[in-house]
Chains A and B, each alone.
Chain A
Amino acid sequence: MNKWTRRGLLTTGLVVGGGLAVGIAIRPGNRLPGLAKHVASDHETLLHTWVKLGTDDSITVIVPHSEMGQGAGTALAQMLADELDADWSQVRFEEAPAIGDFANHSMGRGMLLAGVELPDMVVPSVQGLMIKTAQALDLQITGGSLSIRTTGEYGMRVAGAAVKQMLIEAAAIAWGVSPNSIEARESKLYHPASGRSGTYAEFATAAADIEPPVTPVLKTPDEYSIMGTHVDRHDIPSKVDGTAQFAMDVQLPGMLYATVRRAPTFGGGVDQIDDAATQGIDGVREVIRLPAVDGGGIVGAYSVPETVAVVAKSYWAAKRGIDALDIAWTKSGEEARSSETIFAQFARDIASGVDRQADVQLGDLPSAMTNAALTLEAEYQVPYLAHTCMEPLNATATVADGKCEIWVGCQNPLGFRSEVAAALGFEVENVTLHNCMMGGGFGRKAVADYAVQAAQLSAKVGKPVQLIWSREEDIRQDRYRPAITSQFKGAIDAEGNLIAWENTYVDKHEPAEAPLIPYQVTHQDIGHVASPTHVPFGAWRSVDHSQHGFFTESFIDEIAHAAGVDPYVYRAERLKDKPRHLAVLQKAAKAANWDVPLASGQGRGIALQESFGTLVAQVVEVSVAAGQTQVDRVVAVVDPGFAISPDGLTAQIESGIIYGLTAALYGEITIEEGAVKESNFHDYKALRMPEAPLIETHIINSHATTGGAGEPGTPGIAPALANAVFDATGVRVRRLPLNRPEIKLQLEDSRVAKA
């Protein structure tokens, strides 16, 4: 309770705006007057960066994260409201404005010091460091499954508890009683001895004069009343009647529409444009060549390649216009590249092992391999993947008089604002960014190219412009989940024990621990070699876990079969020192009736993956017939430490599973002549309702450190699926996706292996 991680920087009380508004700052050098003008109306009181109390008893939680479907706003509001003992029916949330004062310091702390406990005496300097880091990175990022485990734990809960204490002290002074004799329930304060009571709103102003507590007391789990309960998501009603505002729904007076195209071969530019046909299309206003932008030296920014745009009075005219352009692209030198030459390069670079970097080296691997009773080698491959958010990339901008206003749905509002400012040559203060709900994000909407283009176009034409990418551009100009090759060699002793694990793969990003295994293996050597390609990298739901989950959980399955042991039992035997891992694995096996045999042509596979602080075990059941794999059922067991919003977590796990299944069954971005071959949902397929399995999610609240929700459902589904296919058919899938023609042929030829 009194660890540094439970403290916020609650330092100063302050009256804002004619004595009505009250607040506390989260850091020295109070910034509330500045904040209040951005978020507090005349009838609201800003209490802490993340909460305001209205005179009508409403409580508004200000969320420094973007909404892309994950429902974090509601869960974060639950955390703050619970500590505040607020009346949930009066609680709402809104997204923090994209200004530097709302940079997400809690996330900075959580990211850089996750799980580290420090002596109290170093706390001030550590927190100061984190604030600086957050400012430097312009952190207002939604990603890494971090909202609840950092912002929620280090920000929302502390803020709620502190504000409650201040309100109690204000009431204690007014009533002339001890703070300890006052009780708080559902946004009201009670003094049982005298029978007095009052609403939070009544004491909000007086609370301004109270010194904020340095270490507000947080609740223990048995005291939670809102956390851990089911509450309806606040954003859902607007998503069933068409009123939810996505960036593409913004309509400005006099607005023009635009669409864009970049060189299909990554690295290429524009040589010549013949726009004769385009200029003849009714409604087309301008054909514009946008220069490349280097990202302005901003941390995390990507360069935006040269772009051709058509601006028109309607999207349809712009789309017809761009399709009618005859563009000659400059060569990038990558025109001979294909998926197969890229995989050949990976194989060469792994074989040469030049500059191999170790992730983990334990024991004496060479002698363990030499002394092994049996060694097993396998090579796995996964392809590039696109994100295909339901909402194609778009942004609406109006640039005039040295100022830019932009509406966009993005995962990093502060970063986008900086990049737009840099591209326009404006001071950041002259760019106002309105972050809208996102129709999916999955990592793609952390890259600002589409916002930069919209701002550039508005600046060029001198009118508001809504830029909408076609789905084809969305797929062909994505930032891709990397293709990877990963090679394994494992060794077992005469008793079947796994004694050595060797793994070399290409292209490491993050999280660093993604290729590591939870199993007890004495001798390990896991490492990577660089093998860069011209295909641009992007974070994709669960990032490196999306590949390594498939690799490591497939190979442990192969080892188990080689050792002649049930793959569930084999895993469990190697988790004796990891009770949380073992618990989710065992519960998944039990819930899925692991020991009950399936019919011929059916199979079960299991996988276990820890990612973003959350453990997930999955059991998949498949039916394979005529080369086709139907996923019948998925049982998932998840231990996030504590599920703040159980139904929200369940929905995230369901979502992560379907997202991962789409990739495992169909997902493949093919490189041909240096460019992406696929273009739309007909050739880059998404799982549809008839193919969707029944999903059964179980939650274990172990009360370990809170983990994430958005990504952990994804990494384990591909290996559990591949392991189930092996169980059903004896065919080992080592290259995804499953609908590759050669795998279908193998499945058609396979005899049922379960006999």
Chain B
Amino acid sequence: MIVMKVNGQEQRVEVDPSTPLLWVIREQLGLIGTKFGCGIAQCGACTVQLNGASIRSCVTPVAAAEGQEITTIEGLSADTDTLHPLQAAWIQHQVPQCGYCQSGQLMSAASLLATNANPSDDDINAAMAGNICRCGMYGRIKSAIKTAASSDFYNAAEVTGE
């Protein structure tokens, strides 16, 4: 039995502890927004946050999540009626095409902005280099991250942090 907190809710799953977290999230918990892309931590489609840091859930055994806090795309926004500023910026810049990689892109971007609310182009490149977009929307993703970073959400957070 593995016990972990997913999007703020305690979850108990009966599963082989070596199973990658990705498949537990999708198959056991039914949170299908997190995607399978490569299975070897090369593409970033499976990105979720473990205690706020981006991880590739396709290579992370569920045992590593025991007692930890996991956030998936379904939990990115604090409540379901409101968009996270990154999601709003994604719509504003019309980022997604096929959309399959975007949960992972958004979770990586959220981890970046959580620790660096005013990232440079190089900071964004470094933080997002693990996320492939085969539709090639890198320019729009970068613009959307900057738009989100300039929103009240992150500027207010910065003030609070001071």
Chain A interface (Cβ within 8 Å of chain B)? 67-71, 232-233, 235-244, 246, 248-249, 251, 257, 282-283, 314-316, 319, 388-392, 437-442, 468, 470-471, 647, 651, 654-659, 661-662, 680-682, 686-690, 692, 694-695
Residue numbers of B with Cβ under 8 A of A are 16, 19-20, 23, 27, 30-40, 42-43, 45, 72-74, 76-77, 83, 87, 90-91, 94-103, 106, 124-126, 128-142
CA–CA, A441 to B135, complex, Å?
10
Q: Write the nearest CB–CB distance from A272 to chain B, whole angstroms.
A: 27
**A283: chain B residues within 8 A (beta carbon):** 16
A683 to B, closest residue via Cβ: B42
Contacts A237-B91, A390-B37 given; indicate if A316 touches B133 (C-beta within 8 A): no
User: CA of A695 to CA of B39 in the docked complex: distance in angstroms?
Assistant: 31
Identity of the chain B residue whose Cβ is nearest the Cβ of A657 in the assembled complex: B136
A316 near B23: Cβ-Cβ < 8 Å:
yes
Q: Complex Cα distance A689/B144, Å?
A: 13
Given A240-B83, A315-B27, A390-B100, the answer on whether A654 and B40 have CB atoms closer than 8 Å is no
Distance, CA A442 to CA B134, complexed state (A): 10
Other A-B pairs beyond A470-B39, A688-B129, 9, CB < 8 Å? A240-B90, A240-B91, A241-B74, A251-B27, A251-B30, A315-B23, A439-B35, A471-B39, A680-B42
5 A-B pairs in the complex with CB atoms less than 8 angstroms apart: A69-B97, A440-B135, A651-B94, A681-B43, A689-B142
Chain B residues with CB below 8 A from A68, complex form: 98
Contact at B23–A314, with CB atoms within 8 Å?
yes
User: Who on chain A is nearest to B106 by CB?
Assistant: A240
With contact pairs A389-B134, A390-B43, A659-B136 given, residues A282 and B100 touching in the complex (Cβ less than 8 Å):
no
CB closest chain-B residue, reference A441:
B98
A687, B136: Cβ atoms under 8 Å? yes
Q: How far is the CA of A695 from the CA of B137 in the complex (A)?
A: 10
Query: B36 to nearest A CB, angstroms?
Result: 7
Which of A70, A471, A651 touches B140 (beta carbons < 8 Å)? Answer: A651
Task: Give every chain B residue within 8 A of A242 (Cβ-Cβ).
Answer: 31-34, 72-74, 103
**Judging by beta carbons under 8 Å apart, are B135 and A655 in contact?**
yes
A680, B40: Cβ atoms closer than 8 Å: yes
Q: Does A658 contact B138, Cβ atoms closer than 8 Å? A: yes
Given contacts A316-B20, A470-B39, contact A241 B87 (CB under 8 A): yes
CA distance A242 to B87 in the complex (A): 11
Q: Does the CB pair B134–A236 fall under 8 Å?
A: no
Q: Is the CB of A689 within 8 A of B96?
A: no
* Contact call B99/A236, Cβ cutoff below 8 A: yes
In the bound assembly, the distance between CA atoms of A662 and B16 in angstroms comes to: 38
Instruction: With both chains docked as a complex, state the minimum distance between the C-beta of B32 and any C-beta of chain A, in angstroms.
Output: 4
Please list the 3 inter-chain residue pairs (A to B) with the smallest Cβ-Cβ separation, ordered nearest first: A242-B33, A658-B136, A439-B100
A655 touches B137 (CB 8 A): yes
Cross-chain contact B138 with A471 (CB below 8 angstroms): no
Given known pairs A69-B97, A657-B136, the reply for A689 and B131 (CB within 8 Å) is: yes
Contact A240–B126 (Cβ < 8 Å): no
The residue of chain A having its C-beta at the shortest distance from the C-beta of B126 within the complex is A690
**Residues of the A chain whose Cβ atoms lie less than 8 Å from the Cβ of B96:** 69, 235-236, 239-240
Q: A69-B97, A440-B98 are in contact. Are A692 and B136 (CB under 8 A)?
A: yes
B99 and A689 contacting across the interface, CB-CB below 8 Å: no
Among B73, B98, B103, point to the contact of A69 (Cβ < 8 A): B98
Chain B neighbourhood of A67, CB < 8 A: 98
* Bound Cα distance A647, B139 (Å): 14
Query: What residues of B have a CB within 8 angstroms of the CB of A680 in the complex?
Result: 38-40, 42
Distance in angstroms between the alpha carbons of A719 and B33 in the assembled complex:
38
Q: Least Cβ distance of A394 to chain B in Å?
A: 9
From B30, B36, B90, B99, give the contact of A437 (CB < 8 A).
Answer: B99
Which residues of chain B come closer than 8 Å to A241, judged between CB atoms?
33, 73-74, 76-77, 83, 87
Partner of B100 from the list A235, A246, A692 (CB cut-off 8 Å) is A246
Chain B residues positioned under 8 Å from A233 (CB to CB): 94
Which residues of A have CB within 8 Å of B20?
A: 316
Docked CA distance A171–B101 (Å): 48
Q: Which of B73, B91, B100 has the most CB of A within 10 A?
A: B100
